[in-house]
Amino acid sequence: MIPALDLEDLRFHHPGQPRPFIAVERLTLAPGERVLIHGPSGCGKSTLLSLVTGIRPLQRGDIHIAGEAFSGLSQRRRDAFRADHMGVIFQAFNLLPYLSALDNVALTPAFSPRRRQREPGERASAALALLRRLGLDETVARLPAHQLSFGQQQRVAAARALFGQPELIVADEPTSALDSGHRDGLMRLLADQCERGGSALLMVSHDPAVAPFFHRSLAFEDINRAARHAA
């Protein structure tokens, strides 16, 4: 079976620092597997995710996503590959505030014909169906994103990441600004929809309470050898 994510011997130095900030020997996610990495704020979890998504250039190491040598791709190919195979959810500032919820979701198929094909029906109706599955009706979907509540915004962000069933969803503290009720609601939806679309989920959080929604839960300091050496 081809893993959804397989990263090997990953190193990241901040410029001018002698010791690596991140050093991960191996991290593998099976297709559809949900893995939580938890740890305190500022320990490098977000940096790890920006390396996985290819938004920050990789200094050393190999990343395979859905069997593709992601880290070997050119910048342009990496951008296209991310659009095709990855969904990304942030902690905040997830949406383009001036676009409607629907248009925010439709960003994904706009950048990836592949994921557009993987959702049945016309682009807008597919986006609407997905929003409905996440508990947002059409009235809400047509509102500009800045008029939505924070919880609604996170669900729209989840819908955009889930659209077209990408192999890997990467989430950076998506629940940190939510109260525990909304947090569990969003996690349940996210877990269900990942299950349904067969997407693997790699999420980082400082909140261990979300662990029950994952197959595996790892402490960042356990996988980051750099942190161990520093200690």
Judged by the rule CB under 8 A, the positions of this chain that interact with other proteins are 46-47, 49-50, 53, 55-57, 75-76, 79-80, 82-84, 86, 88, 90-99, 103, 106-108, 110-112, 160, 172
Residue of 200, 198, 119, 195 lying closest to 160 (CA atoms): 119
Strand order of the β-sheet with 168-172 is 86-89, 168-172, 200-205, 34-38, 216-219
CB atoms within 10 A of CB 148: 21
- Considering the complex, what minimum distance in angstroms separates the CB of residue 7 from other proteins? 16
- Considering the complex, what minimum distance in angstroms separates the CB of residue 95 from other proteins? 7
Which of residues 84 and 119 has its CB atom nearest to other proteins in the complex?
A: 84
Length of the chain: 231
- Considering the complex, what minimum distance in angstroms separates the CB of residue 96 from other proteins? 6
Which of residues 55 and 229 has its CB atom nearest to other proteins in the complex?
A: 55
- Considering the complex, what minimum distance in angstroms separates the CB of residue 1 from other proteins? 26
- Considering the complex, what minimum distance in angstroms separates the CB of residue 77 from other proteins? 9
Alpha-carbon span 147 to 135, nearest angstrom:
17
Which of residues 97 and 135 has its CB atom nearest to other proteins in the complex?
A: 97
Which of residues 1 and 93 has its CB atom nearest to other proteins in the complex?
A: 93
- Considering the complex, what minimum distance in angstroms separates the CB of residue 131 from other proteins? 16
Which of residues 2 and 55 has its CB atom nearest to other proteins in the complex?
A: 55
List Cβ neighbours of 187 (8 Å cut-off, separation of 6 or more): 175, 210, 213
